[in-house]
Amino acid sequence: DAGVTQSPTHLIKTRGQQVTLRCSPKSGHDTVSWYQQALGQGPQFIFQYYEEEERQRGNFPDRFSGHQFPNYSSELNVNALLLGDSALYLCASSFGYRTYGYTFGSGTRLTVV
């Protein structure tokens, strides 16, 4: 039973560029949440998708956007990258728009130079 899969694992981008991160949820899960984790900090909630709609959003600018597909997979897009966007981006899946039973992926390490 595959867990949460995130791609790519590492990424280096230049300031001002755009990036797309991908997440495939655990089998049987239909809700995807995205978190940003700066070095030495706790994960910060970006947004959550359920039934292909953004249901909850954290305190992140509109440069951060996402999408959920009919197969429940999800993308996180960040436009106009800033140096401060360098972080580990974590995807978590769960079932039925619940806040328990989360399974996390291993994350995408984004470095903006």
100 binds other proteins (CB under 8 A): yes
Q: Provide the residue type at 44 as one letter.
A: Q
Q: Provide the residue type at 47 as one letter.
A: F
Q: Which of 27, 41, 77, 111 is in the footprint of other proteins by CB under 8 A?
A: 41
107 binds other proteins (CB under 8 A): yes
Look up residue 55 and give its two tokens. 């249901």
56 binds other proteins (CB under 8 A): yes
Task: Name the one range near other proteins by CB under 8 A: 15-23, 52-60, 64-72, 74-82.
Answer: 52-60
36 binds other proteins (CB under 8 A): no
d(CA 50, CA 32): 7
The pairing of strands 87-94 and 108-112 is antiparallel
- Select from 100, 90, 98 the least CA-distant residue to 22: 90
Task: Name the one range near other proteins by CB under 8 A: 12-20, 21-29, 65-73, 93-101.
Answer: 93-101
